[in-house]
């Protein structure tokens, strides 16, 4: 995905982990991509990071019989990984390394931007007529953010049995399992399915901060019914989470060690200084650094205007 509505200035994102368990609800902010509803869950002014997770868009559900609901022309990224995970439908990725792959339910598309990559994402001509998924970005830590760009696809992710359900481990380590997807700091992303009307128990690492998003179905947490596409920030210090299923909930569990670095986000860039953002923007506009995505049949996205405002020290 491309950040559809970037602010004209960079956004300063620092971790503000709650040391003890909390329950903060952040309803997704609705935008629209040519008829495809998208809910922005991160970053938000109230919370910008959960561990290294710095961006989360949830899109769909959408049923369509014609057209191309996802059509994001080539655009650049630096300093992050993009995690594309679908519940329904198909999205094809093409990038400036010449790699491609269709993401579909159960198949993770993971792109490491490092010092710079460009990609497009679109609904393929042959599709199931439905679309529902999430896209997440992981901020890369200082030691890894100039890593060479890479694209990985994983269709054999670990599955963990839980009291009251099961989970696919998309990224990171959880309960003795490790996702084969490459990660650069301690983190967790899991797609959790609860059995109908069961008590679902999720073991957690108390050193991580966590967040939970209900993607479909219904459930309660601490007696409170959860809303779909709302980010529930949970803080640190939890050893487990007990969710009461109502129907068969589908949940996204995110976690990570509190991210110690302050990052600057603008458009599709995760950086540390405005100078880096200016340089990346100029390189994209001049056709440098990022390469081309010849497999995409159309023009690339132009960079929006950027106002390099002094960034307050944090
Ligand atoms: Mn993108």
Domain made up of 18-256: CATH architecture: Sandwich (2.60)
User: What are the two backbone dihedrals, phi and then psi, of residue 277, each rounded to the nearest 5 degrees?
Assistant: -65, -45
Output the DSSP codes for 141-157: PGGGTTPPPEEEEES--
CA 210–ligand 1 middle distance (angstroms): 24
Q: What is the pTM of this model?
A: 0.96
CA 242–ligand 1 middle distance (angstroms): 34
| Distance between CA atoms of residues 57 and 136, nearest Å | 7
CA 37–ligand 1 middle distance (angstroms): 17
When mean pLDDT is compared across 30-34, 217-221, 252-256, 293-297, the lowest value belongs to 30-34
| pLDDT tens-digit map of 136-154 | 999 999 999 999 999 999 9
CA 245–ligand 1 middle distance (angstroms): 33
For the chain, the average pLDDT equals: 95
CA 74–ligand 1 middle distance (angstroms): 8
CA 52–ligand 1 middle distance (angstroms): 17
CA 10–ligand 1 middle distance (angstroms): 17
| Number of Cβ within a 10 Å radius of residue 98 | 12
CA 101–ligand 1 middle distance (angstroms): 14
| Distance between CA atoms of residues 166 and 202, nearest Å | 9
When mean pLDDT is compared across 4-8, 43-47, 88-92, the lowest value belongs to 4-8
Overall average pLDDT of the 252-275 stretch = 97
Closest CA to 74 of 121, 4, 114: 121
pLDDT at 6 over 80: no
CA 76–ligand 1 middle distance (angstroms): 7
Closest CA to 142 of 259, 257, 54: 259
Yes or no: say if 115 and 147 are a contact pair by the CB < 8 Å rule: yes
CA 42–ligand 1 middle distance (angstroms): 15
CA 79–ligand 1 middle distance (angstroms): 12
Return the CA Rg of the chain: 19
Closest CA to 56 of 139, 175, 121, 169: 139
CA 117–ligand 1 middle distance (angstroms): 9
Give, in order, the Cα–Cα distances in Å from 135 to each of 142, 157, 237.
22, 17, 26
| 66: Cβ contacts below 8 Å, ≥ 6 apart | none
* Residue 182: both structure tokens together: 């490459």
| pLDDT tens-digit map of 79-127 | 999 999 999 999 999 999 999 999 999 999 999 999 999 999 999 999 9
Closest CA to 257 of 303, 195, 188: 188
Map out the domains of the chain as residue ranges: 18-256
CA 49–ligand 1 middle distance (angstroms): 18
């Amino acid at each position: 995905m491309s950040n559809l509505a970037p602010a004209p200035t960079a956004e300063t994102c620092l971790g503000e982990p709650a040391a003890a368990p909390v329950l903060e609800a952040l309803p997704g902010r609705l935008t629209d991509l040519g008829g495809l509803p998208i809910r922005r869950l991160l970053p938000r002014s109230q919370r910008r990071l959960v561990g290294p997770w710095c961006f989360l868009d949830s899109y769909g559900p959408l049923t369509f019989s014609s057209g191309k609901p996802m059509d994001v022309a080539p655009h650049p990224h630096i300093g992050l990984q993009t995690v594309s995970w679908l519940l329904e439908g198909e999205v094809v990725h093409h990038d400036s390394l010449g790699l491609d792959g269709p993401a579909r339910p159960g198949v993770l598309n993971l792109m490491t931007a490092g010092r710079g990559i460009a990609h497009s994402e679109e609904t393929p001509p042959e599709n199931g007529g439905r679309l529902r998924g999430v896209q997440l970005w992981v901020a890369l830590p200082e030691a890894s953010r100039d890593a060479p760009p890479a694209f990985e696809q994983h269709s054999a992710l670990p599955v963990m049995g839980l009291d009251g359900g099961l989970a696919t481990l998309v990224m990171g380590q959880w309960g003795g399992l490790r996702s084969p997807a490459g990660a650069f700091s301690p983190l967790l992303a899991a797609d959790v399915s609860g059995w109908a009307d069961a008590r679902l128990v999720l073991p957690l690492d108390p050193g991580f901060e966590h967040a939970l998003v209900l993607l479909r179905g219904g459930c309660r947490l601490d007696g409170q019914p959860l809303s779909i596409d709302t980010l529930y920030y949970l803080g640190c210090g939890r050893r487990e989470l007990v969710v009461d299923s109502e129907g068969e909930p589908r949940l996204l569990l995110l976690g990570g060690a509190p991210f110690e670095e302050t990052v600057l986000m603008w458009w599709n860039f995760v950086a540390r200084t405005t100078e880096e953002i200016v340089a990346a923007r100029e390189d994209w506009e001049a056709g440098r650094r990022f390469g081309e995505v010849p497999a995409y049949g159309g023009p690339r996205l132009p960079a929006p205007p950027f106002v390099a405002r002094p960034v307050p020290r944090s």
